[in-house]
Structure 1
């Protein structure tokens, strides 16, 4: 069953609301381990992050791919940029978590 959590967007040099920072046990619980490869897809005002295998990852354009950073104990997904602020101007998002998939939309 999918779980929904609210996240406040963070700040980068580009300004407030330009960073989505996801980390830790929640990532591990949903299959996002350190060094896992993911696709980022913008669709209808949502950002969808899904696990993909290495071959699929290599075929993706650079702006559509993410590797889970951090460490084995504390994995991190860090998505930054003006596109984040433009898509989620409220500065808060709801993330719906399921195995191998995170759907992020404005809250």
Structure 2
């Protein structure tokens, strides 16, 4: 998807082009919504209820898969935070 987006927007074939990492990052951050990657990012980040109503099944799946993944990540982060608090509590209690 990244490769297709670079070809679409910049005409650059990443596998055939030598590029510094910082240049790649700069170009990647400028990817527009009309590219394959830009479309997915737009779908994932959409919050407007009226726009969400117009999503087709494929767009809904992209958005739901992303939201599910993000929810799992938050849960893992919350678990890590809780474990750190618990460790700190035991350190205080038992030296």
Task: Establish whether TM, by shorter chain, passes 0.5.
Answer: no
**Structure having the larger proportion of residues in helix:** 2
TM class by shorter-chain length? under 0.3
Task: Give the alignment's TM-score, normalised by structure 2.
Answer: 0.24
Q: Say which structure is richer in strand.
A: 1
- Rg bigger for which structure? 2
TM-score with structure 1 length normalisation?
0.22
Higher RCO (CA-CA < 8 Å; seq separation 6+):
1
